[in-house]
């Protein structure tokens, strides 16, 4: 079930694959947050849901809860499962070479790599965002950038870069986190962003400013 992300794909984020049936009505895939799950490889081995999975094992140095020990090895193993259509690897880990084996393993198994970067401290300047997203889209089948917006102008800058890169044929996914950036989650697909994230359970958001799943689905569908 390879995920190509050639059109907008809505991912329902959860730490519990038992949530998948609840996600089906609105989501195109499930983002399995391995770093928030107790025994993620066992959960993956018994997964029999309909929706393809993005496996994410977010590092603690990038907003998640996974320590480095076995983190990338577990992602590589996740890529072997039939139900996993993509794995998410941090751009920083790809650029340092640490995630090279996991990326190659994903490639061997026909699993897409999402190369992601998160900036929780604010919104970098436009040149830096563009450069990060360009590098990410070279490493991955999709390059993803999430930034923390302090005001709507931050989201506007990110949307503008999203539009430029998508117009050049690059596959990108962007979102501005936080209240000031929330609308970007609904609007970014109009400008070419290929992945959106929303929690299955509204009380279990995986990033600041996320809409609940049904709301994001409706907003995206109405705007396009």
Ligand X SMILES: O=C1C[C@@](O)(C(=O)O)C[C@@H](O)[C@@H]1O
* 13 versus 108: smaller Cβ distance to ligand X: 13
Q: Determine if residue 171 is labeled as part of a ligand binding site.
A: no
Q: Determine if residue 58 is labeled as part of a ligand binding site.
A: yes
* 20 versus 31: smaller Cβ distance to ligand X: 31
CA distance 83 to 204: 23
Longest pairwise C-alpha distance within the chain? 44
CB of 175 to ligand X, least distance (A): 5
CB of 116 to ligand X, least distance (A): 5
CB of 27 to ligand X, least distance (A): 13
Q: Determine if residue 5 is labeled as part of a ligand binding site.
A: no
What would the two tokens of residue 153 be? 């102008």
Separation of CA 132 from chain center:
15
- One-character DSSP codes across 95-134: HHSTTHHHHHHHHHTT-EEEEEEEE-S----HHHHHHHHH
Q: 141-159 burial by CB neighbour count: b if 16+ within 10 A, else e?
A: bbbbbbbbbeeeebbbbbb
Q: Determine if residue 32 is labeled as part of a ligand binding site.
A: yes
* 11 versus 76: smaller Cβ distance to ligand X: 11
Alpha-carbon separation of residue 33 from 96, 106, 135, 192, 216 (angstroms): 23, 17, 24, 25, 19
CB of 33 to ligand X, least distance (A): 6
Q: Determine if residue 24 is labeled as part of a ligand binding site.
A: no
How do beta strands 112-119 and 53-56 pair?
unpaired
What would the two tokens of residue 163 be? 């539009």
The residues that touch ligand X, with contacts defined as CB under 6 A, are 13, 31, 56, 88, 116, 144, 146, 175, 177, 197, 206-207, 210
By annotation, the residues acting in catalysis are: 118, 144
* 76 versus 142: smaller Cβ distance to ligand X: 142
Annotated binding site for 3-dehydroquinate: 31-33, 58, 185, 206, 210
Annotated binding site: 31-33, 58, 185, 206, 210
């Amino acid at each position: 079930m390879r995920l190509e992300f050639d059109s907008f794909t809505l991912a329902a984020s959860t730490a519990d694959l038992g949530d998948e049936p609840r996600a089906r009505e609105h989501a195109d895939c499930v983002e399995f947050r391995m770093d928030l799950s107790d025994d993620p490889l066992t959960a993956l081995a018994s997964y029999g849901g309909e929706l393809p999975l993005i496996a994410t094992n977010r590092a603690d140095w990038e907003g998640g809860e996974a320590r480095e020990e076995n983190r990338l090895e577990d992602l590589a193993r996740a890529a072997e499962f039939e139900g996993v259509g993509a794995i998410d690897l941090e751009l920083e880990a790809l650029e340092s070479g640490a995630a090279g084996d996991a990326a190659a393993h994903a490639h061997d198994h026909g699993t897409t790599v999402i190369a992601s970067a998160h900036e929780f401290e604010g919104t970098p300047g436009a040149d830096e965002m563009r450069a990060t997203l360009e590098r990410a889209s070279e490493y991955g089948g999709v390059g993803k950038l999430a930034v923390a917006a302090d005001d709507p102008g931050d989201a506007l800058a990110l949307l503008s870069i999203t539009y430029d890169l998508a117009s050049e044929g690059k596959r990108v996914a962007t979102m501005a986190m936080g209240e000031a950036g929330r609308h970007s989650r609904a609007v970014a697909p109009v400008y070419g962003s290929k992945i959106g994230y929303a929690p299955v359970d509204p009380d279990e958001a995986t990033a600041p400013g996320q809409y609940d799943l049904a709301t994001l689905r409706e907003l995206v569908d109405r705007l396009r």
